[in-house]
Amino acid sequence: MRNLVIDFDLTVLWPLILFALVVLISSVRLYLATNRDCKAAEKRLAGTFESEEEGEKFLEWGRSRCDQKREAKGLIWFSAVWSGVLCVTFLMPDRVKTGVAFLAWTALSFAATVSFVVAISMAWHYAKKSDWLKFWVCLVVMLLAATSAKHFFFQSINSRHVVCPHCSDDDERPEDM
């Protein structure tokens, strides 16, 4: 069970935690930059402009920066909550984390399978257009998606056996064993 938890931590939790922290940091930076611009725009609106057109341009710029500030604030909250949830998941006991891993690996195996199918269609498209570089890139993506789908599928089976030891995927096994 410990190997499943370590694999879940390394392949799912740590990358998601790092991604959420990068989004949090970049949204805080955007919020601070737009906050300064929004306050400057509010101060400047009290002044007069040389022409009507200059005032309209500045008003439009100020509104767009204030809208960006509002969006950045929402993204800060979302990424902070998401980072907190992921960190709490990281600190959960192994038994509970294995249940979460089962759900995550099931979803990831589905996503990898969909990626494989999309890569097949894109490879076909680029083969018809004779764009061979993009064709080979699609083949590499197909290989990565197939191996990821296989890994996630078997890890979901392994975690299911840990979560539900009496459940079996074997149809040939007698029930009275």
Q: Are 100 and 155 in contact (CB under 8 A)?
A: no
Task: Say if residue 72 is in the same domain as residue 6.
Answer: yes
The residue out of 31, 57, 91 marking a domain boundary is: 91
Tens-digit pLDDT profile for residues 30-46: 998 888 877 777 666 65
Rounded-to-integer distance, Cα 129 and Cα 136, Å: 13
Q: Is 53 exposed, middle or buried (0-12, 13-18, 19+ CB in 10 A)?
A: exposed
| Tokens representing residue 149 in the block | 């789908």
Q: Work out the mean pLDDT of the chain and round it to a whole number.
A: 86
- Same domain? For 110 and 75 the reply is no
| Domains held by the chain: number | 2
At 93, which amino acid appears?
P
Using 50, 70 and 90 to split pLDDT, how confident is the model at 69? Answer: confident
The whole-number average pLDDT for the span 23-27 is 94
Q: Choose one of 75, 91, 107: the last residue of a domain.
A: 91
* Same domain, residue pair 69 and 103: no
Q: Residue 76 — very low, low, confident or very high, per pLDDT cuts 50/70/90?
A: very high
C-beta of residue 146 within 8 angstroms of C-beta of residue 116: yes
The boundaries of the domain holding residue 29 are: 1-91
> Could you tell me if 60 and 5 lie in one domain?
yes
Residues 69 and 124 in one domain: no
Instruction: Note the pLDDT of residue 33.
Output: 86
Q: What is the pLDDT of residues 94-109, one digit of tens each?
A: 888 988 999 999 999 9
Single residue among 91, 125, 142 that ends a domain in this structure: 91
Write down the pTM of the prediction. Answer: 0.71
The mean pLDDT of 115-132, rounded to a whole number, is: 95
Residues 64 and 141 in one domain: no
Same domain, 84 and 104: no
Residue 78 and residue 135 in one domain: no
What integer pLDDT is reported at residue 114 of this predicted model? 96
| pLDDT value of position 63 | 77
Q: Is it the case that residue 112 has pLDDT exceeding 90?
A: yes
- State whether 87 and 114 are in the same domain: no
